[in-house]
Amino acid sequence: QVQLQESGPGLVKPSQTLSLTCTVSGGSISSGNYYYSWIRQHPGKGLEWIGSISHSETTYYNPSLKSRVTISVDTSKNRFSLELTSVTTADTAVYYCARDIVRGLWSYWGQGALVTVSS
């Protein structure tokens, strides 16, 4: 059974870079034609797709965040990462990592990591 686990700082200062890592267990990132994604949820609000990456490093980003987002993959460590630059308080959210079963359809999710942007 595939499992995902987010890790990273829970507090980031405004204007700095938010960095999170998602470690995948129960299956190799290198196998299958899956995409690994980051999705966030502002407190008490709905869900927002941030971007996705394949094991061959093909990436797709939400146009509204594209200028600030980088998603990378490390197949040797079976994990992928998110960097979001120039954060503001509007980036405070629970950040989920997820794996799809078909592009854009997420069946496997991490438990979520709350990241607060505050000075």
Partner 1 sequence: DIQMTQTPSILSASVGDRVTITCRASQSISSWLAWYQQKPGKAPKLLIYKASTLESGVPSRFSGSGSGTEFTLTISSLQPDDFATYYCQQYSGDYTFGQGTKLEIK
For residues 25-64, which are near partner 1 according to CB under 8 A? 45-49, 60, 62-64
Let me know how long the chain is.
Answer: 119
Residue type for position 86? S
Report the chain's C-alpha Rg in angstroms: 13
75/94 with CB nearer partner 1: 94
Count of residues engaged in binding partner 1, rule: CB under 8 A: 22
98/117 with CB nearer partner 1: 98
Stretch of 8-16, 69-77, 81-89, 110-118 contacting partner 1, by CB under 8 A: 110-118
32: left (phi over 0), alpha (psi -120 to 50) or beta: left
Distance of CA 68 to the CA centre of its chain: 13
Which residues contact partner 1 by CB under 8 A?
A: 45-49, 60, 62-64, 96, 98, 101-107, 109-112
